[in-house]
Structure 1
Amino acid sequence: MNVLIVDDDELIGDLLETVVASACPGAHIQIFTLLQSALRYWQQQPADLVITDWNLPDGSGLELIRAVRKTSDSIPVLMISGRADRESILAAAHLGISGYISKPFQVDALHKRLIELVPASAIQHSGISTLDEKMEAACSSAIQLPGQIDTAEVLMLMHKDDALDAGMLAEQWKREPALIAKMLDVANSASFRRSGTSVKTPREAISVIGVSMALNQALALSLDIAGKLACPPLAERARLEQEQALRIAESARALAQKIGDSPAIYYTAGLLSRSGELAALKVLQNHCDQSGEPPELEQIDSAIAYWAEKLGNRIKVQWHLPLDLRELIGAVYFLSKSNVSRSKLVMRAAALLAAEQVEGLECRTLLRRLGIEHREKGQDDARQQS
């Protein structure tokens, strides 16, 4: 199955690729940012599914739709546009589109629409059967974690957080009840309560906790995939991986505050530190669904040990994570003794603290290099007794 995606926003294009890859396993996906490039591709190799934006730098997506309909009336064509007025929708419908989705779109809604549009017979099954083959294929394709909200969407918002305010985020997330509930819960927690009165609206909640923390809370929810994995051992492992990521994030935030750095990026790095492990669990669930056989615990451990790093690297590229954020995530797992980057020292120390290795030589050395006092347990007990 060949899929043609046309959108001048590269981040949106990548997000669309991820959703299509999830809805249409085995599909060959081609992405263009210019109309003329897409038209040339279509003339040489017609696609089985076309998704196009309306406004493109060198023309209108309507031209592509006309070209498609000259060839076939049955090929599914989706228009995805920021235009939501009745006239635009009718103009596109007049050309015979299969659906019109307004930006910003809901990933779940688009995924559902694609499954409805594309018949199962059109999806090319790759013949991949073994778990290792599935893992290898995932390392070279788009990966979508099955969280309650889409991680890529949250990261796109993070790219432009300087231009966001509480009202904008509240509007963006008004159809995300789980996320709104999470924001209200965090804003009303003891650590954020200031006036003694409860916070009742999403906008108030985001104002209380701040845009950066609100985005990180959304990111945490997007990475919480345990409830989406049907196999109990996989769901339990996902829960443990997510809990560990949260511990690293909290430790990194505390350390950043102690050394006077803004904690937001450290917290983000901590949350993303288990993305490779979560991606491996998602592939394991796909394998379980197809084989009908739940994996053994040893198989889960082995798959994560071998594939998590590779899948993590793939998903970081897919999400367009900036280099500094990738390096912070990498420092969670390894840091050379010659490293002098304070931010990386923070992340490695946070990982050790989260793993309860505070008394270890490496952790004590890192804390000392950060200028953070550390008292061993015996010293603390002696102080308390005195």
Structure 2
Amino acid sequence: MYVLILDDDELMGDLLETVVASACPGARIQVFAQLQPALLSWEKQPADLVIADWNLPDGSGLDLVRSVRKTGGDIPVLMISGRTDRDSILAAAHLGINGYVSKPFQVDVLHQKLTELVSASTIHGKGSGTLDEKMEAACNSAIQLPGQIDTAEVLSLMEKRDELDAIALAQQWKREPGLSAKLLDVANSASFRRSGTSVKTPREAISVIGVWMALNQALALSLDIAGKLSCPRLAERARLEQEQAVRVAESAGALARKVGDNPAVYYTAGLLSRAGELAALKVLQNHCDQIGELLEVEQIDSAITCWAEKLGNQIKVQWRLPLDLRELIGAVYVLSRTNVSRSKLVMRTAALLAAEQAESPECRTLLRRLGIEHKDTEKSDARPQP
């Protein structure tokens, strides 16, 4: 499924992308900030769903709606606009739109509207395609990681958002790799690169995009039913992968403190170190839903072995993670013997400690290179903050 979004507000475009990805798992989503590129894209490849803002720098979203209706009479079209007057709504309705949502919108209301607009058969691709084809397609679609973010909990936080700050929210979500990744993605979008400094921790990301936007991103992710794995085997594997990621994060943060570095970036890298595995599990859940069968443990293991690395590499690029953060994540899995970067030594050592391989020759060698006594790794009296 291909979804075209047109909105000149980059933050709003990011939020719409998250909501669509939650409502339409596996969809390929393209966001445009100007009318003309969106029109060219539509002419080249018509979308299966169109979401358009009204006021744009180079025209009106109504022009895109007119083009859609000329060639795609049955394509669902949703208008998103700050215009709430009766004349505007009637003008849009006259063009045959399927829904009109006023800004600022409620994420849960928009999510419900999208699920009503797009039939289940369209969303899930009617079950076609092999598992490998779905994994390959996921590398180029808006995949979100499975998580356990509770919608009621996020709504409760939204009620007291005036009392919250970046530190409090980062602490609240310190064990949510999917949400952490999404916040970094939004904060590192083009409109926030003007300073030339990349955002590398959830706390920094929330400070950049604001508490309101961070809460809305969390709410959109919490509504992603496909992200909450219903297959018991997949859910259990996801729990184990997330627990391992947290162990790596905490070990990396503790080691960073011992060598005199700020633990925050190390913690983030550890938390995201199982992104590929979690992404593979979500695709596996979608596959199970489509074929109506449960997968055996051997099938799950095989799929993760074959696809986790590629999915991880692809989605790290999609999330716009800074290069040095990607390299820290990569060091969790492999480290060249000639590598003398202290930060990468920390990450690889943390991975071995988290895997209970402290006695291995590799781990002992890395600890010596870091100047840390083996006994100092046995206990840690403080855990790093994200």
TM-score by length of 1: 0.72
CA distance in 1, matches of 2:207, 2:377: 44
1:361 match: 361
2:257 match: 257
Q: Is the 8 A contact 1:226 1:238 kept in 2?
A: no
Partner AA of 2:136 in structure 1: E
- 1:217-236 to structure 2, matched below 5 A, reads 228-236=228-236
Aligned match of 1:91 in 69, 88, 91?
88
How far the C-alpha of 1:68 sits from its partner, in A, is 4.3
1:173 match: 215
Q: Is the 8 A contact 1:5 1:51 kept in 2?
A: yes
1:312 match: 312
CA distance in 2, matches of 1:66, 1:133: 34
1:49 match: 49
Q: Deviations over 1:143-164 (max 9, x none)?
A: 1224355635422455465585
1:6 match: 6
CA distance in 2, matches of 1:175, 1:6: 18
1:141 match: 141
Distance 1:109 1:361, change over 3 A: farther
Q: State the SS of the aligned residue for 2:51.
A: strand
How far the C-alpha of 1:313 sits from its partner, in A, is 1.2
Distance 1:76 1:232, change over 3 A: same
Q: Is the 8 A contact 1:253 1:266 kept in 2?
A: yes
- 1:133-282 to structure 2, matched below 5 A, reads 133-148=133-148, 151=179, 153-156=182-185, 159=188, 162=204, 165=207, 168-169=210-211, 172-173=214-215, 228-282=228-282
1:299 match: 299
Distance 1:168 1:101, change over 3 A: same
1:212 match: none
Q: State the SS of the aligned residue for 1:339.
A: coil
Partner AA of 2:365 in structure 1: T
How far the C-alpha of 1:124 sits from its partner, in A, is 8.5
- 1:119-134 to structure 2, matched below 5 A, reads 119-120=119-120, 125=125, 128-134=128-134
Q: Deviations over 1:203-250 (max 9, x none)?
A: xxxxxxxxxxxxxxxxxx98x999921111111111111100000000
Distance 1:128 1:15, change over 3 A: farther
CA distance in 1, matches of 2:124, 2:246: 38
CA distance in 2, matches of 1:39, 1:229: 37
CA distance in 2, matches of 1:286, 1:313: 20
How far the C-alpha of 1:303 sits from its partner, in A, is 1.2
CA distance in 1, matches of 2:105, 2:354: 37
Partner AA of 1:321 in structure 2: L
Partner AA of 1:279 in structure 2: A
- The RMSD of aligned alpha carbons is 3.9
How far the C-alpha of 1:323 sits from its partner, in A, is 0.8
CA distance in 2, matches of 1:313, 1:286: 20
Distance 1:172 1:101, change over 3 A: farther
CA distance in 1, matches of 2:183, 2:256: 23
Q: Deviations over 1:122-157 (max 9, x none)?
A: 568376343223222222322122435563542245
Q: Which has the higher contact order (CA 8 A, sep 6+)?
A: 2
CA distance in 2, matches of 1:14, 1:166: 14
Partner AA of 2:215 in structure 1: W
Partner AA of 2:328 in structure 1: L
How far the C-alpha of 1:61 sits from its partner, in A, is 2.7
How far the C-alpha of 1:12 sits from its partner, in A, is 5.8
Partner AA of 1:100 in structure 2: V
How far the C-alpha of 1:22 sits from its partner, in A, is 5.5
- 1:17-28 to structure 2, matched below 5 A, reads 17=17, 19-20=19-20, 23-24=23-24
Gapped runs of 5+ residues in structure 2?
A: 150-177, 189-198, 379-386
Distance 1:157 1:255, change over 3 A: farther
Q: State the SS of the aligned residue for 1:359.
A: coil
CA distance in 2, matches of 1:124, 1:227: 14
How far the C-alpha of 1:306 sits from its partner, in A, is 1.1
**Structure of greater Rg:** 1
- 1:31-50 to structure 2, matched below 5 A, reads 31-42=31-42, 46-50=46-50
Gapped runs of 5+ residues in structure 1?
A: 180-220, 379-386
CA distance in 2, matches of 1:47, 1:13: 17
CA distance in 2, matches of 1:103, 1:340: 50
1:102 match: 103
CA distance in 2, matches of 1:23, 1:99: 17
Q: Deviations over 1:26-71 (max 9, x none)?
A: 7665543321122344456554421123453433434434554677
